[in-house]
Structure 1
C-alpha cells in the first residue's frame, strides 16, 4: 500500500473536544475541509500587544500631549480610517518617525490604544464623554458605539439633557434621537431639573414644539417654558414670545394664566406676558378676523399626541382618563 504523507492543507491534527478548531461538516469520503480557529484573531491581537509593550517592531512614535507612545503603523492603520490616512503615502506624516496627535488627552489616548490592541476598554461615568469625543475624532467607530450604549444605560432624568446637548455637540445623530425621545417620555421629571433650565433657546423651543411630550395638560408646557425664562430673566425675557409660541394656548384657561402672570415680579416681563395673553384671547374669540391664526388654530387646538386626554361623560359621575 501507499504511505500517507502530511495531512493536506485544511486538515487539523488536533480534533479533540478541547480544540479551538471548528471544522465544516464533511461528507463521507471527502479529503478536504475548511477549518476556522475561534481564538486565532485573539491570540494574534494579544501577541501584538505584547510586542507593543516591549516596543518590539514598533515603527512609529505618537506624541500625544507630550507623552510618547510607541506603536505599529499597520495595527493602527488596520483599526482606524484616521490612522490609515495619516500613515498613507499622501500624508506628510507618512515617513516621520514621530507624529503628533493634537486635541486628545494622553490618558484618554492610552485607553483608546488599549482598545486597539486588546478589544477591551474601561469606561466610567467620568471618562465616557472624553473617550467618545476622542474616538469620534480618531474614527474608532466601535468605541463610539460602546460609549453610546454606556450612556444609554446610565441615563436618567437628571442627566439626559446634558447627554442631549453633548450628542448635539459631537453630531451623534443616533444618540441625539435616543436622548430626545427619553426627554419626551420623562418630560415632567426632566423639566424641573437644573439641566433643563440650561438649555439654549433653540434647544428648548425644539423640545417644546414636539407632539411627543408626555404631559398631563398643556399648562405644564407653559410653566416649563416660564421656568426657563425666569432662570435668567435679564437675558431671557427677550425670548419669551418665541419660547411661548410653542405653547398651545387655546387649551389653557385664561384665568389660570392671568393668575400665574400676576405673580411675576419683573415688571416688563409681566407686561409683555399680559399683552401676549390678551392677543391670544382676542384672536381666539374671533379667529376669522385673523387669517394666520385661523390657519394655525387646528394644530393649536389639538392636544399633543402623547398628552393625557380627558374624556368627560356628561350626566355621569365618572371621568375617564386615557393615555395614548
Structure 2
C-alpha cells in the first residue's frame, strides 16, 4: 500500500524503514512517503493518491480533514500511538475510513519516565544540576523527602499504570488507584478508591488515564482543593486531563507543591519542534516555566528504542492486515 506518514521525524524513518524493508523481504512491505508537517485540513490534500495515512498525537483528524481524506480515496488512518482523542471517530465511520492504533508499545517507557519526573522533582535534580554548573554547591532549597512510606495515587490503572504501580511499590510506597475498570493483575498491589479519596490521601498523584469526555480537566480547581497541601502531580498521559490555569493558581498558593508534565493541553504548536529561535507566544505555558518546582519535558515519555521499534512493527502490521482484509490482531477504534 501507498502510505502517507505525517508529522514525520528522522527517528520515525530510522525505525519504520528497516521494519518495512524486513517486511518487504516477506512480501509484506509498503510504499512509505514521509511528510514533516502535521496532517491538518490544509495539508490533507497531499493525501490524494494514497491508500492510507499514518498519523501521530498532534495531527488534526477532525471532520474537515477526514472529509478531504475520503475524497482523496484514503481508506485507513493508522495511528502510531495509543491515543486517538484527536480523531473524529464518527466522521471516520461515516466516511467509511477505518482507524487503527497501537494500544501498547512500551508501558515501561512511559511508567519509568513518570518515576523520573517524581525523582527529579523530589530531589531538585534540575536545580542542583544548574547550581553545580555555576560552581554553587549550597544545599539550601534542595531539601527532598523519602519516597518510602508515602501514598501514591494513580488515576488509571491500565498497562502503564500497572508498571508504574509495581515500581512505586518497590520504593516502599502504598499505591492506591481510581479506575472504573479494576485491573486484576494489580490485586494485592493496589487498593482501589474513588477519585475524592485518591486526591485526599495521596502525597503523589500520577495520571495514567485516557483523555475522554469524562476525564477532560480531571484536575481542576475543585479537585486540586481536595488534595493534600503540597502534593505532587505528575502527568505523562494527555494534556487535556489538566486545567492548566487552575494548576498555576495552585502552584502560586502552595496547594500544589510539585508539578511534573510530559504533556500539555496546547502542545500541538510547541512540542516535537525546535522553537529555540522563536519567541514563546503561549503565555500560560510561559508562566509554568517560571516555577522552580515544575519540570516539563516535551512529550518524550514514549521515546525509547524499544517503544519506537514496537510502534513501527505494530503500525506496519496494522496496515498490512488492513490491506489483506484481516481483522485479527488489529486494534480498530473505528
User: Normalising TM by the smaller chain, what interval?
Assistant: under 0.3
More helix by share: 1
Higher strand share: 2
Higher-RCO chain (CA-CA 8 Å, sequence separation at least 6): 2
